[in-house]
């Protein structure tokens, strides 16, 4: 998966209830961080191995966009995005909390290998279908997260314009668009299923 991915942009705190559940302020502009391309792995009946002995690890389910062509001002989401996936933004939470307190970059908590598993892609829906369809994360068979683009603080268009104008966006860049409330701990033996509406997008086991 990593070899087919260019830049991995991620949006932090893009759902109000998620920011609140972690005691964070809602940002005034998109909060962007990066993961290395090596963090991207297949989430399709896969066994995903996460670091051990690093404290608490959290899952964060997200809608993921793939950019099909270079960003230019005035281009819409539909112009630039050809397919989408669902993904898990795994986070070393204890390390992340410590980095935030010290005002240090998030890379050690967010950028480790296997930190960005992605389901297979599907055609990118139009805005009406996106707003009519929730994405969900099930952990060990129980729904733990439910999100919808309607509930994002910053819209997909705002995110793309913000990233594209400041950092650039090109073919095979991907964007993790933020996680809804319901994040929680993950340990070896946990299973995850990610759905877009009633469609199972991918499943994995934590090894």
Amino acid 25: pLDDT: 75
Query: DSSP letters along 154-207, please?
Result: S-HHHHHHHHHHHT---TT-EEE----S--EE--TT-EEEEEETTEEEEEEEE-
Dist. CA 174–CA 177, nearest whole Å: 9
For the chain, how many helices (H) and strands (E)? Answer: 6, 16
pLDDT band at 26 (very low <50, low <70, confident <90, very high): confident
- Quickly count: other Cβ atoms within 10 Å of residue 158's Cβ: 16
How would you classify residue 59: left for phi > 0, otherwise alpha for psi between -120 and 50, otherwise beta?
beta
**Which residues on neighbouring strands pair with residue 57, listed in sequence order?**
92
b (16+ CB within 10 A) / e for 111-150: bbebbbbbbebeebbeeeebeeebbbbbbeeeebbebbbe
Indicate the pTM of the whole model. Answer: 0.94
Distance CA 200, CA 54 (A): 31
Tell me the per-residue pLDDT of 136-169, one tens digit each, with 9 for 90 and over.
999 999 999 999 999 999 999 999 999 999 999 9
Q: Which residues contact 198 (CB under 8 A, 6 or more apart)?
A: none
Q: pLDDT tens digits for 167-198?
A: 999 999 999 999 999 999 999 999 999 999 99
């Amino acid at each position: 998966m990593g070899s087919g991915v260019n830049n991995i942009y991620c949006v932090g705190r893009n759902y109000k209830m998620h920011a609140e559940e972690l005691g964070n302020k809602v940002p005034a502009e998109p909060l962007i961080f990066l993961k290395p391309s090596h963090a991207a792995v297949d989430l399709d009946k896969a066994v995903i191995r996460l670091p051990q002995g690093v404290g608490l690890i959290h899952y964060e389910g997200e809608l993921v966009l793939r950019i099909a062509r270079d960003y230019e001002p005035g281009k819409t989401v539909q112009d630039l995005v050809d397919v989408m996936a669902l993904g898990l933004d795994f986070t070393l939470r204890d390390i992340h909390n410590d980095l935030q307190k010290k005002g240090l970059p998030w890379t050690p908590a967010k950028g480790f290998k296997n930190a960005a598993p992605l389901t297979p892609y599907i055609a990118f829906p139009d805005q009406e279908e996106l707003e009519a369809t929730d994405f969900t994360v099930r952990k060990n068979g129980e729904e733990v997260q439910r999100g919808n683009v309607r509930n994002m603080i910053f819209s997909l268009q705002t995110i793309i314009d913000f990233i594209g104008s400041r950092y650039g966006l090109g073919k095979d860049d991907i964007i993790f668009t933020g996680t809804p409330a319901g994040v929680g701990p993950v340990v070896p033996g946990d299973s995850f299923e990610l759905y877009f509406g009633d469609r199972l997008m991918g499943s994995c086991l934590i090894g």
